């Protein structure tokens, strides 16, 4: 059973004037009556989060190009980032789910957690205005640590292209990527990817998506290029 809403308010550090908004934000369509679920709030929350993310990035990176800001924003508001924030709040413990979703582990599903978090952001926005929503987002989603991590990961995003260009410039065969192992339950799958360069060098990396694992493996290969790249 979901916990009392007062406990979630304490985690959010926000007390609702209209607690029905919070209740609705946590209500999945599998248990709603007459459409009283969190889908419309989720739609609004996504927009509020996008606005605050843009404000934050423009303030932190006044000289960054639009392209760089767009990439940073995409990482900060990704489903993976939202899932991490939702789990840090233990949001799944407050979800209102129908029997089928409950029995299938709905409280631990990424999609349901992400939707509920966006709906909670919208509920705070509706109840307390943009300043209240902005405070919540900055404290739980766009923290300094998360922004710094997004900036670091941006460098990894180009690792595959950089590795390919380096090999081509030396007339060497292109790297090959393969899935070594799939880990975890279907709703929290992780992938271990190996990148092989030539016959003798292989390095592995693990992430929540094949794309991220490949990029990280390529970045690791680049960091070890003295082990496999012959002198120019």
Q: Tokens at residue 104, please?
A: 């299938």
The DSSP letter of residue 191 is E
| Residue from 42, 118, 127, 214 carrying the catalytic annotation | 118
Cα 183 to Cα 167: distance, rounded to the nearest angstrom: 31
Distance CA 205, CA 30 (A): 37
Question: Is 118 assigned a catalytic role?
Answer: yes
For residue 198, what are its two tokens? 């030539």
Buried b (16+ CB within 10 A) or exposed e, 124-148: bbbbbeeebbbbbbbebbbeeebbe
How distant is the alpha carbon of residue 69 from its chain centre? 16
Can you read off the two tokens belonging to residue 186?
A: 């279907």
Distance from C-alpha of 31 to C-alpha of 9, rounded to nearest angstrom: 22
User: Among 133, 90, 110, 83, which Cα is nearest to 185's?
Assistant: 110
Residue 82 CB partners (closer than 8 Å, separation 6+): 113, 114, 117, 118, 141
**6 part of the active site:** no
Whole-angstrom distance, CA of residue 60 vs CA of residue 82: 20
List 37, 42, 46, 127, catalytic entry: 46
Q: Which residues are catalytic?
A: 46, 118
């Amino acid at each position: 059973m979901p916990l009392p809403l007062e406990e979630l308010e304490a985690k959010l550090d926000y007390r609702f004037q209209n607690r029905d908004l919070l209740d609705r934000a946590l209500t999945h369509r599998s248990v709603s009556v007459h459409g009283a679920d969190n889908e419309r709030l989720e739609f609004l929350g996504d927009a509020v989060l996008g606005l605050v993310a843009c404000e934050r990035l423009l303030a932190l990176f006044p000289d960054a190009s639009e392209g760089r800001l767009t990439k940073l924003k995409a990482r900060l508001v990704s489903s993976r980032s939202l899932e991490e924030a939702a789990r840090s709040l233990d949001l799944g413990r407050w979800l209102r789910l129908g029997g089928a979703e409950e029995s299938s582990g709905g409280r631990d599903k990424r999609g349901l957690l992400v939707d509920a978090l966006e709906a909670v952001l919208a509920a705070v926005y509706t109840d307390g205005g943009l300043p209240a929503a902005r405070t919540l987002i900055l404290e739980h989603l766009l923290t300094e640590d998360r922004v710094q991590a997004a900036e670091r990961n941006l460098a990894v995003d180009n690792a595959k292209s950089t590795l390919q260009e380096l090999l081509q410039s030396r007339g060497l065969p292109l790297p090959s990527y393969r899935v070594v192992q799939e880990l975890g339950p279907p709703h929290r799958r992780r992938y271990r990817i190996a990148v092989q360069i030539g016959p003798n060098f292989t390095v592995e990396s693990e992430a929540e998506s094949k794309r991220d694992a490949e990029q990280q493996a390529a970045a690791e290969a680049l960091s070890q290029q003295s082990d496999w790249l012959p002198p120019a």
